[in-house]
Amino acid sequence: MQSTSAESTAKPAAPPDLEIKDAQLIFNQVWKQLEDDYGRENLRFPKELILLGGAPGAGKGTNTNFIRKLRGITAEPIVVSALLDSPESQKLKSQGGMVGDREVVGILFRKLLEPEQQNGAILDGFPRTKVQVECLKLLFDEMMRLRRDFSATPDAFHFKQPIFHIMVLFVDEAESIARQLKRGQEVLAHNEEVRRSGLGELWEERATDFDPTLARNRYKVFKEKTYDALVSLKEIFHYHFINAQASLDLVQENIVRELEYQSSLELDPRTFDLLRKLPLASEIIRHARQDLVRRLDSYKVEKADLMQAVVDFIEGKMMPIIVRHSISGRADINSENTLFHDPEALAILIDIFSERGFHATADLHLIEIPERFDLQTGEIQCRKKKVFRFNIRFKGSEIRRG
């Protein structure tokens, strides 16, 4: 809890059950005021909320815009420390009041109701106390209740399934201190050049970027406040732990992977229960290459003759046609070869083309050919001819035109 008075820092922590009761009381007061001021039908919070925490030096500033672009979030990140410098907060402080959990929650919720936040919001610096954690849980519950209450009304569109992400960019203490001090040296060099040339803007010189002890203390504050508060929510909301000690490219690759489509969060629970048995495309393709190699190797050991026959057919009958279609990148080939009466031969052919970088499909067409006509009954007896139709696609040749 933040305060303008130094005495508040020495106040003993409240027992957990009391903190939860305090949170319920605070939340109820804030929520009632919001309903009175806005009207219940206008309590339209962001459909997606990303709670972003980063260790000092973890690259939170660098990656925030990357995350916004990735999720289609147009609003600027909401930095809680900046909100606490708002005129409303400053007025409260000037009157000798404290900016505690109730004030933080109230100011933040009102910010989240602004129209520009509706497509999604990134929240930096919240929650930081047990009370704030509980208020966040209560917010989610109320958003779900709003969704249910308005589901059969024209306003249903404004009350979508809430999506809360917890994202932590993490580096260890040694790396954090090293990066903070490195930043300090870069700031000094930059500011010296700005003062010398008169060009550019001065960067902020933070004491923690020049003193190892202060840098270590800043990391400790992160671990004991922001980190612990966010981790406490991992059992409720989707949690993303990003190891930020790697290169920027690898870190952003991990962010992309973590923020892939999450059915369990974005769909109605009943819809998700219906679909959950079907695998995600990402799960199928993750090990596709290894599975393909394993299948081809097993064909060579267990079905060597069949595999050789398929390879000979591809080389002798199909590749000459495919080469002639190298410009278009598509070849349609028909065959009546009895080799493919064995379904495994078709599987081997498709896998071979996949390994070579082609996309191959095959289907069977049955054609009835008249063989005998019964003059007395008028019955026509036919034999069925199997025709296998192969469609081979690949990247065609790029021809310069004009």
Residue 380 near residue 372, CB atoms below 8 Å: yes
User: Average pLDDT of 15-23?
Assistant: 65
User: Average pLDDT of 105-113?
Assistant: 94
Per the domain annotation, does 169 fall within a domain? yes
172 and 62 housed in the same domain: yes
Going along 55-211, which residue ranges are E strands?
78-79, 121-124, 163-170
258 and 374 housed in the same domain: no
- The edge-to-edge listing of strands for the beta sheet with 330-335 is 330-335, 380-393, 359-373
pLDDT of 210 reads: 92
pLDDT of 145 reads: 93
The residues facing 164 across adjacent strands are 49
Contacts of 235 (CB under 8 A, 6+ apart): none
Averaged confidence pLDDT in the chain: 84
Cα distance between residue 160 and residue 147, in whole Å: 6
Residue 171 near residue 241, CB atoms below 8 Å: no
pLDDT band for position 382 (cuts 50, 70, 90): confident
317 and 185 housed in the same domain: no
pLDDT of 10 reads: 43
Per the domain annotation, does 357 fall within a domain? yes
Per the domain annotation, does 180 fall within a domain? yes
Domain with 115 in it: what CATH number? 3.40.50.300
Per the domain annotation, does 402 fall within a domain? no
Q: Domain tally for the chain? A: 2
Q: Which domain holds residue 373?
A: 287-393
Q: What is the tens place of the pLDDT at every residue in 58-102?
A: 988 888 889 888 888 889 999 888 887 766 666 655 655 556 888
Cα distance between residue 78 and residue 51, in whole Å: 10
51 and 84 housed in the same domain: yes
216 and 292 housed in the same domain: no
Is residue 4 over pLDDT 50?
no
221 and 292 housed in the same domain: no
Residue 370 near residue 340, CB atoms below 8 Å: no
Domain with 320 in it: what CATH number? 3.30.110
3-state secondary structure of 51: strand
Cα distance between residue 33 and residue 37, in whole Å: 6
Is residue 156 over pLDDT 80?
yes
pLDDT band for position 142 (cuts 50, 70, 90): very high
Per the domain annotation, does 326 fall within a domain? yes
Is residue 370 over pLDDT 90?
no
224 and 300 housed in the same domain: no
Per the domain annotation, does 55 fall within a domain? yes
161 and 258 housed in the same domain: yes
223 and 319 housed in the same domain: no
241 and 301 housed in the same domain: no
| Least confident among 17-21, 36-40, 222-226 | 17-21
The distance in angstroms from the start CA to the end CA of the chain is 70
Per the domain annotation, does 351 fall within a domain? yes
Per the domain annotation, does 253 fall within a domain? yes
249 and 295 housed in the same domain: no
3-state secondary structure of 372: strand
Residue 273 vs residue 193, higher pLDDT: 193
User: Average pLDDT of 321-333?
Assistant: 93
Is residue 7 over pLDDT 90?
no
293 and 230 housed in the same domain: no
pLDDT of 11 reads: 47
pLDDT of 384 reads: 86
